[in-house]
Amino acid sequence: MFENIAELFKNKPLLVCVNKVDVRRIEDLSEDRRQLFEKFKEKGIPVVEMSTITEEGIMKVKTEVSKEAFSLFPSVWICV
């Protein structure tokens, strides 16, 4: 499915958040479903497992989003 809309995200930072890992982890999925996430990783797209129930991975998501957000701004700030 992502391949159908990939052009919309060209040259934009992406992060794949896999929620509900308190129920099932990527490693517990069938091989074909695990391969979907491997394709993202091969393209350099971070894949973060998380759970809003246990809060596992929430800080990792925040960190990844912050890194991407800061990369969009110039490294030198001018204050006036």
Q: How far is Cα 56 from Cα 45, in angstroms, rounded to an integer? A: 20
Q: Are 78 and 34 in contact (CB under 8 A)?
A: no
3-class state of residue 36 by DSSP: helix
| pLDDT over 90 (residue 60) | yes
Q: How confident is the model at residue 10 (pLDDT cuts 50, 70, 90)?
A: confident
What are the structure tokens assigned to 48, written together?
């973060």
Over the stretch 11-48, which tens digit does the pLDDT of each residue have? 888 899 999 999 999 999 999 999 999 999 998 999 99
Q: How far apart are CA 30 and CA 70, in angstroms?
A: 36
pTM, 2 dp: 0.78
Q: Strand, helix or coil at 35?
A: helix
Helix, strand or coil for residue 29?
Answer: coil
